Amino acid sequence: MPPSCSAPTPCYTVASASYGDEPLRVCVFSSPEDILRLAPEWRALMEASSHAHPFYDPAWHHTWWKHLGSGEVHICTVGPETGPPIAIAPLTLREDGVMRFIGGEDLTDYLDILARDGAHAEAWRALLEYLNSPEAPPWKELILHGVPAGSPTAEFFRAPAGGATVEPEEVCPVIPLPDSWEAYTGMLGQREEREMRRKIRKAQMEPGLEIHRTLNEKDLENDLDEFFRLHELSQPQKAEFWNCPRRAFFREMAKEMLALGWLDLTIMRVDGHPVAANFALDYGDRIYLYNSGFDPGERELSAGLVLLAQDIEHAIQAGRTSFDMLRGNEPYKYRYAAQDEPIVRIRLARKAS
């Protein structure tokens, strides 16, 4: 019986793939609750991987599925019979035969299998042998969105023998952080540096200015309400984005990230009035700016720019090495010295039986 399994789970032995001296097995879990049951092994893999992102955590996947998931769950673990898994692939199968990662495309910026360093290729060989076998579900096409271009997964599927198509999907502008604020501002263009310093000085002279960071569950609900309102104010064209399922996902996800110590929600207020908010995740050596908002009525204050600059400075002081502005090549991101890190889409048709 596979680790953490409370009921018999089908497993497929892959004779052509091994880890050490043992052949690998692919075990398939078909309940969303299996995500939580597998959490100890799942998080052990996150710690063993230099390619992990906070979006790979089981709490993220379980919360997304609870509020936004559809189709069938197919969580595949890959590992030797007598040891812990070397990889987990959180997959879902749609009615049209498309198999993809749990997490969708519009709310999860990075998606991939989770594997120990050096184990991605062997894990994918085992997974594909299983997926092309009669024991696998009736999928027609594997479409993997949001895979970091530098992931071993992308490298594996780029091999000509794999038969997959690997195509550019989007970019994530990322700021490489030096070890001091002065070194960072020196990375900016002269105009951008001058404007940033001027706007920060002006904001700091504003009476009643404060920057609040969400540190406990007691403040979380109110802080999220302020974030939602500021996001809607700053981007009215996205008013429909905050439908009931997305808002419910966001609230529960934020609570989970706070419990893990990864939530980095900051709000700028003037005399108690919220004027800007940044919702970010703090994982490993990287800050992930997930979404932001500001009050257009306070445009003269440049609240959005100032809060983002303050968050970058805080990240430098905390010893982080990257500030990831996530998907989208909006021009403002490059004013902060961001550099593109691409993500790719992988397509693979099922082999004819």
Q: Which of 22-26, 134-138, 250-254 has the highest mean pLDDT?
A: 250-254
Q: What's the mean per-residue pLDDT of the chain?
A: 93
- Indicate the pLDDT class of residue 239, thresholds 50, 70 and 90: confident
Distance CA 137, CA 127 (A): 13
Contacts of 33 (CB under 8 A, 6+ apart): none
Answer for the pair 268, 274: CB distance below 8 angstroms, yes or no. yes
Mean pLDDT across the stretch 294-303? 89
Summarize pLDDT for 193-202 with one digit per residue, the tens. 999 999 999 9
Residue 4: per-residue pLDDT: 43
- Indicate the pLDDT class of residue 161, thresholds 50, 70 and 90: confident
Answer for the pair 147, 153: CB distance below 8 angstroms, yes or no. yes
Structural domains of the chain, ranges and CATH numbers in brackets? 11-169+343-349 (3.40.630.30), 178-320 (3.40.630.30)
Residue 1: per-residue pLDDT: 38
Mean pLDDT across the stretch 228-249? 88
Rounded alpha-carbon distances, angstroms, from residue 298 to 269, 328, 343: 11, 25, 35
Summarize pLDDT for 164-180 with one digit per residue, the tens. 999 999 999 999 999 99
Residue 70: per-residue pLDDT: 92
Return the CA Rg of the chain: 22
- Ranking 196-200, 237-241, 335-339 by mean pLDDT, the lowest is 237-241
Q: Is the pLDDT of residue 353 over 80?
A: no
Contacts of 278 (CB under 8 A, 6+ apart): 264, 265, 266, 289, 291, 292, 307, 308, 311
SS3 content of the chain, % helix, strand, coil (to 5): 40, 30, 30
Say if strands 87-93 and 72-80 run parallel, antiparallel, or are unpaired. Answer: antiparallel
Residue 102: per-residue pLDDT: 97
Count of residues making up the chain: 353
Mean pLDDT across the stretch 88-117? 96
Mean pLDDT across the stretch 7-12? 74
Mean pLDDT across the stretch 289-304? 91
Distance CA 103, CA 97 (A): 17
Contacts of 294 (CB under 8 A, 6+ apart): 230, 233, 234, 275, 276, 277, 303, 304, 307
Mean pLDDT across the stretch 325-353? 94
Mean pLDDT across the stretch 273-302? 94
Distance of CA 108 to the CA centre of its chain: 5
Distance CA 76, CA 87 (A): 8
Mean pLDDT across the stretch 307-329? 97
Summarize pLDDT for 109-129 with one digit per residue, the tens. 999 999 999 999 999 999 999
Q: Which helix (H) or strand (E) holds 34?
A: helix 33-37
Contacts of 205 (CB under 8 A, 6+ apart): none
Distance CA 187, CA 309 (A): 13
Closest Cα partner for 144 from 75, 96, 92?
92
Q: Specify the DSSP class assigned to residue 304.
A: H
Q: Specify the DSSP class assigned to residue 24.
A: E
Q: Is the pLDDT of residue 244 over 50?
A: yes
Three-state helix/strand/coil letters over 139-191 = CCEEEEEEEECCCHHHHHHHCHHHCCEEEEEEEEEEEECCCCHHHHHCCCCHH
- Indicate the pLDDT class of residue 312, thresholds 50, 70 and 90: very high
Q: Is the pLDDT of residue 6 over 50?
A: no
